[in-house]
Amino acid sequence: MRITIVAGARPNFIKIAPIIKAIEKKQDNGALVSYRLVHTGQHYDKNLSDTFFEELNIPFPNANLEVKSGSQAEQTAAIMIAFEKELLNHPTDLVLVVGDVNSTMACAIVAKKLNIKVCHVEAGIRSGDMTMPEEINRIVTDSITDYFFTTSIWAGENLIKTGVDPLNIHFVGNVMIDTLYQNLDRITPPSFWEEYKLEKENYVILTLHRPSNVDQEHELVQLLKGIDALVQDKKIVFPIHPRTKAILGESNFDFKNIIMVEPQGYLNFMYLIKNSFAVISDSGGISEETTVLGIPCFTMRNSTERPETISIGTNTLVGTSIIQLRKSYTEFIQNGIRKAGIPDLWDGCASERIIDLLLTK
């Protein structure tokens, strides 16, 4: 079987790393499977791309479509045009896409129209929020996917509601968590750890990059000021996403506690998360990682496509204003961490299950 693996953005790189390892393990055991890695170039900053390839030992891509930035339509169209040429020049049996970025949807459409089977890893999750570009990407991708690999029973139920044949839905666990387990003994403090006198549990991690939080400069600055005032006795380490940086510009803010740093590589970032007091974020992936690590996470969104991080894990949804965050964070300071667990099959073996299943197709 020939598999073309697509990756375009930071969370994709983290998800494909263990899948590639699982394929290579099968090859070592004599299985007739090969892969071709296509980087669409959706994320191209060193901090968001190359660093992840180096740190997670992901092979150099066989092709880079170099689409770079653009509006939603420009980027999706550029990926489709380039990926169609890629597939015509390099025939394959299966296109494997992960997550919910524009590359996921664009490449799934191109593959399906060329009558190539599509496999979606992290299928079926839904926020119900159609203002999120990711939700549209999820719905379109799942409407043309052949093999659905899910992170929860709930995601499978979402797919069944839309008429997907249950025989094509495979609850395998979470590839993001495979990467976490595979690298926990390699995580390492960032170079600024000493400079800022960071100590275990004496700081909070903050990440924000969703349009609903960062696209209006005034609201973003007010939110940051509110967070700076809320977390009074701790430093707040804020690895700032390029999208957020572009909105804030080069202005110098006089924050008492917030320390702005570059987006972190995976090994430094996971060290920071694992040793933090709490996390404030609008990221989906981070709510999964904090769940597994048992770190309290306050998600600055009105909905989540990962409800198990709330019902089982350590995640609390706090909306996009400082008001609810203040309430939830204050309750947490008063009551401490609530008891939480790890969702079923988030055990580090999802990628092997995926490849085992694909090789039976």
Asked if 306 touches ligand UDP (CB under 6 A), the answer is no
x-or-dash string of contact with ligand UDP, 220-259, rule CB under 6 A: -------------------x--------------------
| SS3 label, residue 268 | helix
Of 276, 188, 191, the residue nearest 235 (C-alpha): 276
Structure tokens at 114: 């060329």
Q: Does 207 bind ligand UDP (CB under 6 A)?
A: yes
Nearer to ligand UDP, 52 or 87 (CB): 52
Q: Taking CB under 6 A as the rule, does residue 285 contact ligand UDP?
A: yes
Per-residue HEC secondary structure of 25-86 comes to HHHHCCCCCEEEEEECCCCCCHHHCHHHHHHCCCCCCCEECCCCCCCHHHHHHHHHHHHHHH
Contacts with ligand UDP by CB under 6 A: the residue count is: 15
Cβ–Cβ under 8 Å, residues 311 and 339:
no
By C-alpha distance, which of 208, 84, 36 is closest to 76? Answer: 84
State yes or no: residue 264 binds ligand UDP (CB under 6 A). Answer: yes
Please give the structure tokens belonging to residue 270: 């996971």
Closest by CA position to 209, among listed 153, 285, 136? 285
For ligand UDP, the closer CB: 86 or 288: 288
Strand partners, 117: 94
Q: How far is the CB of 13 from ligand UDP (least distance, A)?
A: 8
Provide, rounded to whole angstroms, the least separation between the CB of residue 263 and ligand UDP. Answer: 4
Is 120 catalytic? The answer is no
Interaction between residue 82 and ligand UDP (CB under 6 A): no
Q: Does 353 bind ligand UDP (CB under 6 A)?
A: no
Q: 120, 209, 218, 241: which one is catalytic?
A: 209
Q: Which residue in 4, 5, 8, 10 binds ligand UDP (CB under 6 A)?
A: 10
Q: Indicate whether 313 belongs to the interface with ligand UDP (CB under 6 A).
A: no
With residue 23 as reference, give the H or E element that holds it: helix 10-28
Positions in the binding site for ligand UDP (CB under 6 A)? 10-11, 14, 207, 209, 239, 263-264, 266, 269, 283-286, 289
Catalytic positions, please? Answer: 209
